[in-house]
Structure 1
Amino acid sequence: MSSQQATQVTADKTPDFEAELRRRYHEKPKNVPKAMSSLLSSYSGVPEHEQIAHITKVRDEAYAQFPYPCMGTFRFLDLDLARHWAYQEHVLTPLRQPSVPGEPEPLFLDCGCCLGQELRKLVVDGAPAHRLWASDIEPRFIELGFKLFRDGHTLPRSNFLCPGNVLADTEDSSGDQLAILDDKVTILSISAVFHLFGLDEHRRIANRCLRLLRKDTNAPVLILGAHAGSLTPENHRRHLGPRGDRDLFFHNEESWEALWREVCGQPQWKGKIAGLEVKAKMFGRVRNTDPNADEVVTLCDPGVMSDSRPWQVWGVWVTFKPGL
């Protein structure tokens, strides 16, 4: 992406790391969102009156190792994929379709799955478990997901790939379990991942996603997700305490599309891709204070938000040329 395609604003923001951690840590959730509560009740057998204690215990184990904001504020309780505008038509419907002889069977992958909450929601919504895969860089997240949802004996562990490295080099993928699914994925979900990295790494992640996609469907295959965005494309230097400083990049709709067109135009893909469609929409985020709210964070108009950054929800459809 060139400087002409996007205006990059460098922000040198280095708040006190310990103070930031305290701000983004809640001792327990005020409530369990209805969708997650229903999932824990019907799928995991955790009664409503036990859910807050159960969730908090698992969260505390995760936060002790990974003090991420999504853990500290219980953001993982929001089932973001299920409220994505493409979920019903482009994710759930194809996954629930019966197999057709001679046609590719759909395969779903959740990259950066955290506790695997989105995959469990898909199972409850009727997607066959054998079509569902998930990956994360941290094995502990996978194990804590089985603890949270109490399904270690029912959901195939072999479908959880760890470590799944979205930055794996094409020359050496020996430490990347995701290689098992290269050229096999028809629906790839990757949320809250891109905003953890800089622009050069965004190119590598997008390239890794393309390598995972199935090439012989003769129809568009889908990458979708959501992440923190910016009304103006922005390079942001963030202090991460013991992990030092890191450059992060946040996209608006135009720079996000430009990223995918740039990557798809690289020599390794230019002659293989017949079509590319990128859709992105920016939302504001407001944290609910109502203990009976359906969600931890509500998406709203970008002009009305309590969070410092808008939330970008997006989909990328890629059509590969026949005969690859």
Structure 2
Amino acid sequence: MATNTAPVDPIYRQRFFETLHHVPKSMAKIMGSYSGIPEHEQIAHITKLRNEAYAQFPYPCMGTFRFLDLDLARHEAYKEHVRDVLLQPALSGKPEPLFLDCGCCLGQEVRKLAADGAPPHRLWASDIEPRFIELGFELFRDADKLPRDHFLCPGDLFADTTDPSEDQLNVLNDKVTILNVSAVFHLFDLDEHQRIVNRCLRLLRKDTGVPMLVLGGHVGGQEPSRVERGDNGKYRYLHNGETWEALWRGVCDQPQWKDTVAALKVKTKLFGRIRNEDPNADELVSLCEPYSTDEARLWQMFEVWVTFKSGA
């Protein structure tokens, strides 16, 4: 994989917006209809919880209120391959779909699915930080709607253990049919990507004979690059379409998966991302064509379909 080394990535410069001027329409709808929070209370409620989260986790997605954007809901695969699948009634003799959001942050994507009518018992989420899980329940006021034990923490994609006390993700090994991994890969270097892909494969269901879906998005580029994070002296690797597919094929060709994976299909699409100041917009950061403006940051949306051999 060809790689360009870039300077310290500006995404890791501390960014904090003190004021939230408007709640994006998609999130405002969830806050109103699902969480029961009146529109006139939403900004104050969100800001209070954001400030508490940022004091412990000063991440750009917190400082800029980016967690209010529903990246999964605007994914091209969301309606047909996520929402509609999860809404299908259970059929006798056939396994039910199971959705997992890895690195769920405040659990906003799971709340969108719940608000869209997905059965709560099919929805799971995980994060490495327990406080994110608690803040998510406070933000959405839904402790009576979603099973708390479906929020797995710690859920460590790098854990090399079968002990659920060290990595609760183990309870879902071989059970996940739809796996969302968004804004995760771009935090890590290429060797760590290989470990994440391996962990994703362990989570996916293997006894159905039909493709399992891994989807999400992360910062990408027209050319792959290895970028210094700047916050801890480590690096993160940003993919283009070719290196992203090569990553998955490379892991699937390793001995532990070569005789298990029957087929692999990888799809990617590159977008620009620009801050949206329209108070009537559905999101704070809008997707556009790559390089449509000088301000656009590049975002790689992906689908990975994995089919396992019968009896794997």
**Distance in 2 between residues matched to 1:291 and 1:37, nearest whole Å:** 11
Tell me the amino acid that sits aligned with residue 114 of structure 1. Answer: C
Which of residues 185, 195, 207 is equivalent to 1:194?
A: 185
**Distance in 1 between residues matched to 2:73 and 2:217, nearest whole Å:** 12
Unaligned runs of 5+ in 2: none
Fraction of identical pairs, as percent = 65
**Distance in 1 between residues matched to 2:9 and 2:280, nearest whole Å:** 35
Offset of residue 43 of structure 1:
0.5
Asked if 1:139 corresponds to 2:130, the answer is yes
Asked if 1:62 corresponds to 2:87, the answer is no
**Distance in 1 between residues matched to 2:294 and 2:67, nearest whole Å:** 18
**Distance in 2 between residues matched to 1:15 and 1:55, nearest whole Å:** 26
| Structure 1 equivalent of residue 269 of structure 2 | 281
**Could you report, residue by residue, the CA deviation over 1:186-233 in whole angstroms, capped at 9, with x for unpaired residues?**
000010000000000000000000000000011000000000001110
**Distance in 1 between residues matched to 2:100 and 2:129, nearest whole Å:** 16
| Structure 1 equivalent of residue 283 of structure 2 | 295
| Structure 2 equivalent of residue 231 of structure 1 | 222
**Distance in 2 between residues matched to 1:79 and 1:114, nearest whole Å:** 12
Tell me the amino acid that sits aligned with residue 294 of structure 1. Answer: D
**Distance in 1 between residues matched to 2:181 and 2:61, nearest whole Å:** 15
Q: Which range moves more in the overlay, 303-312 or 159-168? A: 303-312
Structure 2 contact 163–170 (Cα < 8 Å) conserved: no
Offset of residue 134 of structure 1:
0.3
Aligned residues: 312
Question: TM-score w.r.t. structure 1 length?
Answer: 0.93
3-state SS of the aligned residue for 1:64? helix
| Structure 2 equivalent of residue 3 of structure 1 | none
Asked if 1:80 corresponds to 2:71, the answer is yes
Offset of residue 293 of structure 1:
2.3
Which of residues 2, 27, 30 is equivalent to 1:7?
A: 2
Structure 2 contact 32–39 (Cα < 8 Å) conserved: yes
Offset of residue 153 of structure 1:
2.4
**Distance in 2 between residues matched to 1:315 and 1:233, nearest whole Å:** 18
Offset of residue 109 of structure 1:
0.2
Offset of residue 305 of structure 1:
4.0
Asked if 1:318 corresponds to 2:309, the answer is no
3-state SS of the aligned residue for 2:96? coil
Offset of residue 154 of structure 1:
2.4
Q: How does 1:235-250 map to 2 (within 5 A)?
A: 235-240=226-231, 244-250=232-238
Q: CA RMSD in A?
A: 1.5
**Distance in 2 between residues matched to 1:260 and 1:16, nearest whole Å:** 26
Tell me the amino acid that sits aligned with residue 9 of structure 1. Answer: N
Structure 1 contact 284–300 (Cα < 8 Å) conserved: yes
